[in-house]
A and B are shown apart, each in its own frame.
Chain A
Amino acid sequence: MLQKTWVKIFIWFMAIFFFFLASGVVISVLRPGPSENEAMSFMMGMMSAMDSSMMGVAMNIEHDNALQAVIALSASIALPVMVLSVAAGIGIRLWQRRDRNV
Chain B
Amino acid sequence: MNVRFDFIMHWLWAIVWALLALSGFGMVGAKHGWLVNFNYATADFVHRLSAAVFVVLTFVSIAYEVFRNIKKDTKNLAWFVIGRSGYQLFTFITTLILIITGALIWICSEFNMSAVGFALLIHEYISYIALASVIWHIYKKCHALLSLKKPEAKLQKG
Minimum distance in angstroms from B136 CB to a CB of chain A? 10
Q: Do A52 and B41 contact each other (CB < 8 Å), given the known contacts A42-B33, A58-B106?
A: yes
Contact between B107 and A71 (Cβ–Cβ < 8 Å)?
yes
Interface residues on A, range: 35 or more
Contact of B107 among A41, A44, A55, A75 (CB under 8 A): A75
When distances are taken between beta carbons in the complex, the residues of chain A under 8 Å from B90 are none
Interface residues of B in 98-119 (CB under 8 A from A): 106-107, 109-110
Contact of B145 among A12, A28, A52 (CB under 8 A): A12
Contact between A92 and B69 (Cβ–Cβ < 8 Å)?
yes
Assembled-state Cα–Cα distance A11/B18 (Å): 13
Q: Do A58 and B66 contact each other (CB < 8 Å), given the known contacts A22-B132, A38-B33?
A: no
The size of the chain B interface, using a CB distance under 8 A, is 48
Interface of B is mostly: helix
State whether the Cβ of A87 lies closer than 8 Å to any Cβ in chain B: no
Assembled-state Cα–Cα distance A1/B11 (Å): 12
Q: Mark A46-88, 1 if CB is under 8 A from B, else 0.
A: 1011011111001101100000000100010000000000000
Please name the 4 residue pairs, one residue from A and one from B, whose CB atoms are nearest each other, closest first.
A45-B40, A34-B30, A42-B30, A41-B38
Interfacial residues, chain B to chain A (CB-CB below 8 A): 1-4, 7, 11, 14-15, 18, 21-22, 25, 28-35, 38-45, 48-49, 66, 69-70, 72, 106-107, 109-110, 128, 131-132, 134-135, 138, 144-145, 147-148
